[in-house]
Structure 1
Amino acid sequence: MTTLSQKDKNTVRDFWTKIQGQTDIIGRDTYFAYWSSGGARHFDVRPNSPSVVKHGITILDFFSLSELHAFTLCVDPANLKLLAHCMMVVLASLFPDDFIPEVHMAVDKFMAALSLALSEKYR
């Protein structure tokens, strides 16, 4: 299990504050990367398609996603790890000056913990 230290939590919180105003772009680009890698084939996967933009905003609004994905959509928990990786690639490309190794490590731990929490409903 991934444990975030207080320093990790502060690092993620500080980084999240910097990126907060661009969640629509981050979500769109993350889902575009995910879908382009074969994550979903039933959507229009062009970068600015309404499906990508809408769902990109939705994924960054994490509330109630665990139950929705586990019980309604029956999403494979392994896809959460792929999605987290896609998001980190997007964050690194959009914020190269801020996504330094320390931030990368803290965000990676956070995304691993988040993926685990979202997949808890699958048990």
Structure 2
Amino acid sequence: MSLTAKDKAVVRAFWAKVSGKAQDVGCDALSRMLVVYPQTKTYFSHWPDLSPGLPRSGSMVTIKIDDLKAGLLTLSELHAFQLCIDPANFKILSHNILVVLAILFPADFTPEVHVSVDKFLAALALALAEKY
């Protein structure tokens, strides 16, 4: 399932609305993943406290949306060769991101947005798993 030009436009437009809360989305999605899928805590043992309020980091991946494989090559290599993250976790995190987006932005997270963002996150997970 590839991203169409319309999907990319929908993702960019939605991201423009929610990007101010990107760190909140990431933190909430990661916290949710660690609670619902406790086996994923293995990859975060370097964090002494895995409770809500985790370290926050944002990413402007949407600017790489036209070529995710090339744009995320360094991250893919990092996850595959240094961090040794199971790529199945990318799908788990993607699902949690969708849940948080739906909770935080109910009016903007329309069915059309849901489909396009889901496709984008699937493409993102695939690009991150490229070096496995």
TM above 0.5: yes
Which runs of structure 2 are paired with 1:16-95 in the superposition (5 Å)?
A: 16-37=15-36, 38=38, 39-41=40-42, 42=45, 43=47, 44-48=49-53, 52-54=54-56, 57=57, 60=59, 64-95=74-105
Q: Give the whole-Å Cα distance in 2 for the aligned partners of 1:13 and 1:96.
A: 17
Note the alpha carbon deviations across 1:40-63, whole angstroms, 9 max, x for none: 153422212xxx133xx15x3655
- In the alignment, is the contact (CA less than 8 A) between 1:3 and 1:109 conserved in 2? yes
- In the alignment, is the contact (CA less than 8 A) between 1:3 and 1:113 conserved in 2? yes
User: Structure 1 length normalisation: TM-score?
Assistant: 0.86
Q: Give the whole-Å Cα distance in 1 for the aligned partners of 2:100 and 2:76.
A: 23
Q: Are 1:114 and 2:119 an aligned pair?
A: no
State the percentage of identical aligned residues.
49
Moved more, 63-72 or 3-12: 63-72
The CA RMSD measured in Å over matched residues stands at 1.5
Q: Tell me by how many angstroms 1:30 deviates.
A: 1.0
Answer 1 or 2: higher relative contact order, Cα 8 Å, separation at least 6. Answer: 2
Q: Which runs of 5+ in 1 are unaligned?
A: none
User: Structure 2 length normalisation: TM-score?
Assistant: 0.80
Q: Tell me the number of residue pairs that the alignment of Structure 1 and Structure 2 aligns.
A: 115
Moved more, 31-40 or 85-94: 31-40
Return the letter of the residue paired with 1:68. L
Q: Are 1:99 and 2:109 an aligned pair?
A: yes
